[in-house]
Amino acid sequence: MDPLLQTWPVPPSAMLWGSKNSPGSMLRLVNFTIGFCSLNFSLVAYLFLISGEGPDRQFARTWLIAFASANLVPTVLWFLGKVRGSRALKLFGIWADLGTASVIMTFTSHDAALFGAVLFVASGAYFTYFLNFRWLAFHLAFSCTFIISLAILAITRGTLPTAGVIARTDVILCAVIFIPATIQFAWRQLLARANGSKVDALTGLLNRRGLWDMAERVWSTSHANRVDVAVAVVDIDKFKAVNDAYGHEVGDTVIIRTGNRLQQHVNGFGYAARTGGEEFTLVMIGTPYGLRKRIATLPRAVVEATDAPLATVSIGASTMPFTPDMEQFDYTAFSRAIVHADHLMYEAKSSGGNSANTAPLDMTRFDRMQRQRRFQAPGSAVN
């Protein structure tokens, strides 16, 4: 069995968006905001230390200084973009919540402690943008339990008027709960709309736009697992004849059937996208042997003896070997791999169809094929 990624497919969530190394201005702004909030946390801790409302016991003061100073390490790592991946993002969130709670507990003034609980709003924003809704629910449950406990402690000790404590607690809970929850709801709606624009309406597979979005994730996954990437273009043979003989409704059924079987065949190793009328594009990761075997068995995987009408496919696949220094997604290489695979698919179709051609992406050979295709007469391609 191929030593491939065992957690595929990755579930869609805001965490994926947050962990992507994207050049987008929105992500940069969110990254800066979270980093600033983390830095500001240490600053607030130092300010309370020198104020009269900070801790008065030596152990509490030592803990406050130690945590505020230690917090500068993950803050610097965050600004440097070193906090990546699911585990690191979760640990950063846990650090923020537990650290906030432990520092607030050192305050001798219950009024100051309740005021300091507003810091949970900042960590709530982090959980909203960089982790999924389950982790946000965990954060809200933890922070609300902690804030209510502070309020009960202030009331039982009689350090503040009961009505004042309730008023303060109400304001803080509203900020801690409703701001992240509202952002999460709006964010999930935007994600749903964005993902909807990347899905083909007929087959439920990704469309061309979704292909490119997922390609970046596949590229990162292949590099993390040190495996190769393959791009395959699949075209249904003689599809026009199917439409002419059986009608467009049956033709749509053939497209849906083929798309489902393609996805089932590569599931766990990649994904399938519908990128044309009867054309699909597959992106897979694996060892060289595993990819060759998976591609070679594709023509048989999409056809069953009981199919009516019977529809075979022609496949062209371009493989890109793992390269340690190509960590960032290479748009040019991926684009050329698609064109290379498309050319190989037409070669398979010209040879009678129901077959797969596979070749590594060779930039010199690719440029030569491009020149040949420019001089190819229009309409000479085999359907």
In this structure, the strands spanning 313-320 and 228-236 are antiparallel
**Chain Cα centroid distance, residue 4:** 18
Instruction: Please name the residue that has the structure tokens 């004042």.
Output: 164
User: Tokens 């230690």 label which residue?
Assistant: 70
Please tell me the distance from the alpha carbon of residue 44 to that of residue 118, in angstroms, as a whole number: 12
pLDDT > 90: what percent of the chain?
A: 34
Structure tokens at 368: 């030569």
**Nearest 5°: CA angle at 205, between 203 and 209?**
120
What pLDDT, on a 0 to 100 scale, did the predictor assign at position 365?
53
Which of 10-14, 86-90, 149-153, 361-365 is predicted with the least confidence, judged by mean pLDDT? 10-14
Report the percentage of the chain scoring pLDDT > 70. 84
- Using pLDDT thresholds of 50, 70 and 90, give the confidence band for residue 188: low
Give me the count of residues in the chain.
383
Tokens of 141: 């449950």
Residue among 352, 359, 92, 327 at smallest CA distance from 231: 359
Q: Are 6 and 36 in contact (CB under 8 A)?
A: no
pTM: 0.52
Amino acid symbol at 248:
H
Is the dihedral angle over the CA atoms 238, 242, 248, 250 positive or is it negative? negative
The mean-pLDDT minimum among 209-213, 284-288, 354-358 falls in 209-213
State the amino acid at position 121 in one-letter form: V
> How many C-beta atoms lie closer than 10 Å to residue 357's C-beta?
20
Nearest to 83 by CA among 27, 39, 19, 141: 19
Q: What are phi and psi of 45, to 5 degrees?
A: -60, -45
346's tokens: 């037409």
The residue ranges of DSSP E strands in 327-366, in sequence order, are 355-360
Q: How confident is the model at residue 53 (pLDDT cuts 50, 70, 90)?
A: low
| pLDDT over 80 (residue 15) | no
| Cα–Cα distance for residue pair 339/337, rounded to 1 Å | 5
**Amino acid code (one letter) for 330:** D
Residues in Cβ contact with 60 at an 8 Å cutoff, skipping those fewer than 6 apart = 106
pLDDT in tens, 293-352: 999 999 999 999 888 899 999 999 999 988 877 777 888 888 899 999 999 999 999 999
Residue in this structure with the two tokens 């169809």, named with its chain if needed: 353
Compute and round to an integer the Cα radius of gyration of the chain: 28
User: 161: cis peptide before it, omega within 30°?
Assistant: no
